[in-house]
Amino acid sequence: MEEFSMEQNNLEVQEEESQIENVKMPGIIQVGTLYSIAVILMVFVSTRLQTTLGFNLGGALSEILLIMLPPLVFLILFRFDVKRVLRMNKTGFMNFFLVFWIMFFSIPVVGLFNILNMLLVKLLFGTVEIAQIPVGSDALAFLPACWLLAFLQEYVRNFCLEG
């Protein structure tokens, strides 16, 4: 009985792989062009959005409109399977558990690299200018900024740039 279930599982895996192979995927030139368009839009339009609409609203709109929208429009216009191309798989408790602990233990490593980077800049150039992000002074202003910097930015970039 176990052999049958193993064979059945192997057949299911092979069927899923063949379905993935049959999915129409964007080419390297198309992906490179989309990435270039997103970078150009972020460099030239994002700063204007953030200065005119404020950090939170301008940042959220620039992430959604300039990073997420062009690839989605492209995939829909050229009739790609959006769910398969962007690899939108189900997440479970273990995914969130691993992401939380990876994030928790990586913060000290990133802090150490930032300190080393600032020391290197100070040795090479003599001064270090640190720009402060306007995150708010109270909890009600701090929470939207955290949502924007942490969740929205990573979700959009993983969704469109790495998917």
pLDDT in tens, 79-118: 888 878 777 777 788 878 887 888 788 888 988 998 999 8
What lies within 8 Å, CB to CB, of 133 at 6+ separation is 55, 145, 149
Buried b (16+ CB within 10 A) or exposed e, 18-52: eeeeeeeebeeeeeeebeeebeebeeeebeebbee
The pLDDT of residue 21: 62
What lies within 8 Å, CB to CB, of 128 at 6+ separation is 118, 121, 122
The pLDDT of residue 112: 93
The pLDDT of residue 123: 92
Total-model pTM: 0.58
Identify the segments of the chain with pLDDT beneath 50.
Answer: 1-2, 4, 6, 11, 13-14, 18
Please give the Cα distance from 41 to 123 (Å, whole number): 34
The pLDDT of residue 18: 47
